[in-house]
Amino acid sequence: TDPEAPKHKGISLFLVPMNSPGITVTPMPTIGDEITNMVFLDDVYVPNDYMVGERGKGFNYISEALDLERFTMFTFSPIQQRLDLLLDYVATEDRDGMPLREDPVIRQRIAQLATEAEVARVLGLRFVAASMAGGAPPTSEASEYKLYATEFSRRLANASMDIGGPGSQLRVRTEGAPMGGRAESTYRYTVIDTIGGGASEIQKNIIARRKLGLPKNF
């Protein structure tokens, strides 16, 4: 090693052609009917021409990309659609001869969900506003939105399963299933949302360190 060579610290980012010798991709189905992959790299050679940006800045690039992903992959619109589906179900269905909309327990739960949905929507608007201000993607706002929106989506799925009753366990598009079986598929898929783009625990760490100035917990 040349002692006079410049020293570079940090991780560099490379684009690796998927047809490179030594790459093995194994599909792995998930609980939410999505397909992720196990990727193995055995002695894969990647020339320097495939480096992205500056040497040693890979972590910065990936972090900025994740800030955008945490909003764009978990936008509020699909969450609102699932809430509207549950609201329509409660407004039109009966149980034991009594309309669900008149059950005080269900009314309280729906009111809580509607309130939390508004919080998620506004957190999304805060991210958009911060992004329009210019500069680097707003890290803490992205984590705040992603953490709250995906955990709320999971609570909404749980509520849909509870309110729909035993029939909500039927698969999506099953004839006669409450809410067309959407509750069951949403229940499975929202588990992935709290992991993809950085698990909820990671978002809490980012908020604690970058927004609140707290030390690392490890």
pLDDT value of position 121: 96
- Can you give the pTM of this predicted structure? 0.81
pLDDT value of position 24: 95
State whether residue 41 is helix, strand or coil.
strand
Phi-psi region of 109 (alpha: psi -120 to 50; beta: other; left: phi over 0): alpha
Cα distance between residue 185 and residue 157, in whole Å: 9
* Interhelix angle 76-92/182-193, nearest 10 degrees: 150
Cα distance between residue 188 and residue 29, in whole Å: 12
- For CA atoms 120, 121, 127, 130, the dihedral sign is negative
pLDDT value of position 173: 86
**∠ CA 128-69-160 to the nearest 5 degrees?**
85
Helix (H) or strand (E) holding 37: strand 35-41
- For CA atoms 83, 87, 93, 97, the dihedral sign is positive
Give me the tens of pLDDT residue by residue for the chain, a chain 218 residues long: 445 545 657 889 999 999 999 999 999 998 878 888 999 999 999 999 999 999 988 888 888 888 878 888 888 999 999 999 999 999 999 988 899 999 999 999 999 999 999 999 999 999 999 888 877 778 899 999 999 999 999 999 999 999 999 999 999 888 889 999 899 988 998 888 898 888 999 899 989 988 888 887 65
**∠ CA 160-162-163 to the nearest 5 degrees?**
65
In order of 1, 47, 126, the CA distances from 52 in angstroms are 24, 12, 30
Helix (H) or strand (E) holding 94: strand 94-95
Instruction: Identify the CA nearest to 132 among candidates 71, 62, 193, 205.
Output: 71
In order of 21, 22, 44, 101, 180, the CA distances from 88 in angstroms are 53, 52, 54, 10, 12
Cα distance between residue 183 and residue 162, in whole Å: 9
Cα distance between residue 18 and residue 164, in whole Å: 45
Contact 51, 14 (CB under 8 A): yes
